[in-house]
Structure 1
Amino acid sequence: MPVSSVASLPRGHQTMLLAHRAMIGDLDRIQSTATELAETPNGVRADALSAYAGKLAYVIHHHHEGEDEFLWPRLRAAGADPEALETLTTEHAELADLLTRWTESVTQPVTDAASATRLSALTKELRDQLTVHTQDEERELLSRLAPALDERVWKALENHMRTTAPLWTLRFMPAWLLSVAGPNDSAGVPVPPLARVFSGWLRRTQRAAFGPNY
């Protein structure tokens, strides 16, 4: 997508693109870190990785729930392309079991080479499948679903996501999105003052979890 096109999107749409970018990036780093833990065990890093990945797992679950329970029904009621919605709904269903298994695995600290190797493989599987889904979703939102989307829909989704998320996400989410934002999509970062305040905390948390993969 051209940079100018990204910058002209509604803020909620830019936020979604940043969330996709951050999810895939974190999964890359979790896989690399798990592979290293299989070769060189590190209990402190394993605990930090588990704590961080638990936050990521929640964010991905909440992201999909927001679409399944709020955005897709709203677009369906507005007459959005049914085939596009069916594609994205089906992909969420296909991801659900994998995401549940990954969450169960990643929230348990790695204790030996075998568990680290399993986590690396499962994370790669999730990253690959989620990459395909996010690419499909971004394409559909800009093409077949675009006629049913406007600023009001994106603002309503933003409000829904904010009011259904726990308070700890106010510390995590803005800084997390800011960490992957470029100069042309930084408008997608919610609550910029909070993002800046907690950026240092996020960097320290990620360094503890990912080590040299930060």
Structure 2
Amino acid sequence: MSGNESVVWSSEQGLGGLPEHVRGFGLMHVAMRRDAARLCAAARSVRPGGARALGEWFGRLRAVIDWHHHSEDEILWPYLRGHVPGFDGSGALEQDHGALDRSMSRVAGVLTTGRIEELPEAAQEFADLVRDHLRHEERVVFPVLAALGVAEYGRVERWIIGSAPAQVMTYLQPWMFDGADAASVAAVAATIPAPVRLLGRTVLERRYRRTLAPVL
């Protein structure tokens, strides 16, 4: 990791300083924070009749986060432990994932049972956990991913994307690109096969936009 130890990268203030080959990873973090904020805003105004639609939207978000965390625990962390001397911290990150799983279960339970009076607290707990976890993860992982280089990281990223279930794959591209800066979108889009990119910008984008009604 020579030359990167003193660099502190974060997706909280945008991805401009992050190496282009890591921006797809960063965009997922930006999208998680964005949707955690959307959930908190919706929690303050949702009516009992809107809990089901909000629950359906949250279910899609939960599926993406669940896949993202499992792909880290099962693919990325083992790879880094085996190929990057001195890599550590993944145990604490896995504990973070467990806390987020429990928080997402709580939000889903509140929405399923219609106990919307509990939603603002549950949503805020989730948003706080997302914020704290991503700060921790980016501090530990971004320098390592940057140091892997374009080719090696690209191989690992393809393994990770290949592990995504269909429900996630049909949601992932428009979800990641929602509200993202043009430079980051261009950098990430260049790694996506042209037919998949076209599908993401047309059919999947329209489908994704329809899912946002409960939080917009």
Q: Shorter-normalised TM-score: what interval?
A: 0.7 to 0.9
2:55 aligned residue (30, 47, 50) = 50
Cα separation, 1, equivalents of 2:17 and 2:35: 25
Please state how far the C-alpha of 1:142 moved relative to its aligned partner: 3.6
Q: Within 5 Å, which residues of 2 pair with 1:127-138?
A: 127-138=127-138
Cα separation, 1, equivalents of 2:15 and 2:61: 27
Please state how far the C-alpha of 1:193 moved relative to its aligned partner: 1.3
TM-score, with structure 2 as normaliser: 0.79
Please state how far the C-alpha of 1:150 moved relative to its aligned partner: 2.1
Unaligned runs of 5+ in 1: none
Matching of residue 9 in structure 1 with residue 20 in structure 2: yes
131 and 97 in structure 1: CA distance in 2 versus 1, 3 angstrom threshold: closer
Matching of residue 89 in structure 1 with residue 94 in structure 2: no
Cα separation, 1, equivalents of 2:55 and 2:37: 15
Q: Which residue is equivalent to 1:155?
A: 154
9 and 139 in structure 1: CA distance in 2 versus 1, 3 angstrom threshold: farther
Q: Cα deviations across residues 106-140 of structure 1 (Å, max 9, x unaligned)?
A: 2663555xx22322212211211221221222233
Cα separation, 2, equivalents of 1:105 and 1:146: 32
72 and 95 in structure 1: CA distance in 2 versus 1, 3 angstrom threshold: closer
Instruction: Calculate the aligned-residue CA RMSD, in Å.
Output: 2.4
Cα separation, 1, equivalents of 2:173 and 2:100: 27
Unaligned runs of 5+ in 2: 1-8
Cα separation, 2, equivalents of 1:80 and 1:127: 33
Please state how far the C-alpha of 1:175 moved relative to its aligned partner: 0.8
Q: Which amino acid aligns with 1:170?
A: M
108 and 194 in structure 1: CA distance in 2 versus 1, 3 angstrom threshold: farther
Cα separation, 2, equivalents of 1:163 and 1:34: 34
Please state how far the C-alpha of 1:200 moved relative to its aligned partner: 2.2
Q: Within 5 Å, which residues of 2 pair with 1:57-206?
A: 57-82=62-87, 85-86=88-89, 88-106=90-108, 109=111, 112=114, 115-143=115-143, 145-146=144-145, 149-186=148-185, 187-189=187-189, 190=192, 191-197=196-202, 198-206=204-212
Percent identity over paired residues: 24
Given that 2:71 and 2:160 are in contact with CA atoms closer than 8 Å, whether structure 1 keeps it comes out as yes
133 and 108 in structure 1: CA distance in 2 versus 1, 3 angstrom threshold: closer
Cα separation, 2, equivalents of 1:142 and 1:175: 23
Please state how far the C-alpha of 1:42 moved relative to its aligned partner: 4.1
Cα separation, 1, equivalents of 2:109 and 2:24: 26
Matching of residue 25 in structure 1 with residue 34 in structure 2: yes
Given that 1:175 and 1:195 are in contact with CA atoms closer than 8 Å, whether structure 2 keeps it comes out as yes
TM-score, with structure 1 as normaliser: 0.80
157 and 117 in structure 1: CA distance in 2 versus 1, 3 angstrom threshold: farther
Cα separation, 1, equivalents of 2:27 and 2:171: 14
